[in-house]
Amino acid sequence: MVRGNFTFKTSRTITRAVYTESFSSEFDGWGDVEKGDILPYLAPIQGNTQVIFEQGKWLAAVQIQALSARKSTASNLNNDLPGALVGNLSGSYEINDHLKVQFGIQNITNTRHVVAARPAGYRTFTPRMWTFGILWEL
C-alpha cells in the first residue's frame, strides 16, 4: 500500500479580450485592427491540471497544460494557431534541511505545437527537455 499525500490542483481561464478602437499599425503583428477584433496570441480557453504526490522526503508531480486555438493577428478571420496539450513531470528529494535535488521532464510526449507565427514564421514549443537542479538554502 502506498502511503503519502496526494494533492490535486486544477484551473481554467476563459478570456475574451478585444480591441476597443480601430487603427492601422505599421507593426506587422497588429496590422489593420477593427474595433471588436480579438487580441492575437491570447488563448480564449486555458487549463492546467496537476497531481502531486508527497511521501517523506520525496515529491513527484504530473502536470497537463491545455491551450485552445488562437489567432496570430487580429485581422485573421479564423484561428491559425492550433490548440495544444502539453504534459510535464517533476520531482524532488530533500537530502537535508538545506539541500534538495530537483528534476523534471518538460513536454514528456515531445509535442510539436505552434506557439508563434511572428516575426520570422512559425515556431514550435520547446521539444522534450530534461532538467536537473540543486537547491541549497542558506
Question: Is the pLDDT assigned to residue 77 strictly greater than 80?
Answer: yes
Question: Is the pLDDT assigned to residue 81 strictly greater than 80?
Answer: yes
- Say if residues 14 and 45 touch (Cβ distance below 8 Å): yes
Distance CA 74, CA 57 (A): 49
Is residue 16 exposed (0-12), middle (13-18) or buried (19+ Cβ within 10 Å)?
exposed
In this structure, what are the phi and psi dihedrals at residue 5, rounded to the nearest 5 degrees? -115, 130
Overall number of domains in the chain: 1
Give a yes or no: residue 90 inside a domain.
yes
Q: Which residue has the higher pLDDT, 118 or 12?
A: 12
Give a yes or no: residue 33 inside a domain.
no
Q: Which helix (H) or strand (E) covers residue 138, if one does? A: none
Give a yes or no: residue 23 inside a domain.
no
Give a yes or no: residue 130 inside a domain.
yes
Domain of 9 in residue numbering reads as 5-13+41-136
- Say if residues 102 and 92 touch (Cβ distance below 8 Å): yes
Q: Looking up cell 499525500, which residue turns up?
A: 5
Q: What is the pLDDT of residues 44-72, one digit of tens each?
A: 999 999 999 999 999 999 999 999 999 88
- Say if residues 8 and 47 touch (Cβ distance below 8 Å): no
Give a yes or no: residue 61 inside a domain.
yes
Give a yes or no: residue 31 inside a domain.
no
Give a yes or no: residue 126 inside a domain.
yes
Give a yes or no: residue 36 inside a domain.
no
